[in-house]
Amino acid sequence: MADVVFSDYFANNLKQYYRTYHINRQVIRLPLLLGLGDIAQADLFETRRTLLKIRSAHEAGSTIDRWDQAIHDGVSELDEAIGKRETLRIWWTDLPDESCGFAWLCDYLKDQLVSATFVHVPLIFKNYPFEFQLSHFEDASLFDFVYHDCLKTEQLLSRNICLTYSYLWRDLRRDNTPLRIMINGYLMSQPINFYDRFLLPHVTSTHFNRIASVIEKTIEEGPLGVPGWWYRHRIDYLISNRVLWFEASSGRIKLRQT
């Protein structure tokens, strides 16, 4: 059996869980980031490479080759598992990248002779009288898997479910608006400036703000699952289009007055 995940961090957490409990299972990671960027091209790797250039430009320690290789390795491992008729267990949440990843994978598997299940992990874990919300899949720890028994939500990936999400993926590809978001349990396409509305309220026109501080506040108060490097990319765009004023000497920004 093999587990399929769409988060590099979650893959590491899952591997840790299996090592702790001496479980021999393969973990296939597919960090596709399908909630962002172009998805219309038939060549999955080419569509991701453009996005990886953006990521590598704004994320410390990130390189195009590293993530490109991770995607190639993941798809190769997936193909090998399918070829061996291994049972797949797919982990995903309602975060855009993982929801899109699940839809993509259903489309990828729709004509394959493979047995699969899926675990739709909730974004909120309840521990009465408290609630713990996942902002990213990497927030899930070994404790969460054991205490909250995530596997109790495991379901068979039936032919009907697989086709439903396959059709969803095809609709998203056909539309190919740059962003995919989750609203009330539904994946929807949005224009490339959609997340700017959560970024700009943290920038003032009266004084300069540290870019890192603006991004931190936006991530803290904005939609779940949006990486900091995407907001940094949008800040560069807004600077180049004279929406934001950039003070090079301090690396700070403020809104231009209209």
Cβ atoms of 100 and 35 closer than 8 Å: yes
Q: Which residues of the chain have pLDDT under 70?
A: 124-150, 258
Cβ atoms of 125 and 30 closer than 8 Å: no
* Per-residue model confidence as pLDDT tens digits over 208-258: 999 999 999 999 999 988 999 999 999 999 999 999 999 988 889 999 976
Q: What span, in angstroms and rounded, lies between the C-alpha atoms of 172 and 104?
A: 10
What angle (nearest 5°) sits at the alpha carbon of residue 59, between those of residues 172 and 212?
105
In this prediction the pTM is 0.89
- Domain extents for the chain? 2-175, 196-255
